[in-house]
Amino acid sequence: MSTSHLLYDITDRVAVITLNRPDAMNAFSDTMREDLLRMGQEAASDTEVRCVMITGAGRAFCAGGDIASMAELQAKADTSVVERRMTLGSQVVHCLRAMPKPVIAAVNGAAAGAGINLALACDIRLATTSARFSESFVKIGLVPDWGGTYLLTQIVGTGKALELMLSGDRIDADEALRLGLVNRVFPDDTFREDALRVAQQFAAGPSATLAHIKRAVYIGATGTLAEALTYEVEAQRQVFLSNDAREGMRAFLEKRAPRFS
């Protein structure tokens, strides 16, 4: 399923999608958006996959769009390709958010433009100490896309989102952690192993329960209290008699680690 610019591998029930254009800091080529969407859809439907991790090859996570390619489109006065690329980016974001599995962004280096917003579309963001983040669109006269205006604002608030997007300033991993952009920061030399360990922890969890928790949290983030309470009742009703819930309670009473199916 791997392509020339995207790698797809399943390890211990974790689907690892690696952006693989290291010479271009994993900037999106013409086909990478389609391939990323296809791989996301495949991971979502594969019952053997319990968690998804997106990372980059080489020293960058993703530098966003390929500026040389965009300059060629400007020279042709062609916006149709840009619109198609933005539509594909939107579809990737929808896919990751709707996926009934945890999605981790393992940010192994620079994440700029569409790259930072791809990370923001994931449920959990882990960063290496050398990671850098930038809503760099304004530096080339463009407006943030891939849902960044929504996703970043939800995490850091209106004022800080405006500051980061209006300036395009770059922040380091420590500042990203302080702002809540990332959940955890790991050393460079052990980063992949540390990120995989987090992913494997989620993969070992009760999958249906995790799916409900993910959906409930996003309802809580964007909906009303009444909507959140209603969903909690329905979700709890669905999982209460499940094999995983029975195993979890038995394990608790027997003072051992649960072994979820």
140 near 116, Cβ under 8 Å? no
Looking up tokens 């989102």 gives 161
CATH architecture of residue range(s) 6-203:
Alpha-Beta Complex (3.90)
pLDDT tens digits along 154-191: 999 999 999 999 999 999 999 999 999 999 999 999 99
How is residue 23 annotated by DSSP?
Answer: G
Pairing of strands 124-128, 103-107: parallel
By CB neighbour count within 10 A (0-12 exposed, 13-18 middle, 19+ buried), where does 228 fall? middle
Q: 137 by DSSP, 3-state: which?
A: helix
**Per-residue pLDDT band at 66 (split at 50, 70, 90):** confident
Q: 105 by DSSP, 3-state: which?
A: strand
Mean pLDDT calculated for residue range 130-157: 96
What are the backbone dihedrals phi and psi of residue 171, each rounded to the nearest 5 degrees, phi first? -120, 155
For 211, the token pair is 């799916």
Residues 6+ positions from 86 with CB-CB distance below 8 Å: 145
164 near 143, Cβ under 8 Å? no
Q: pTM for this structure?
A: 0.94
Say yes or no to pLDDT of 73 above 90: no
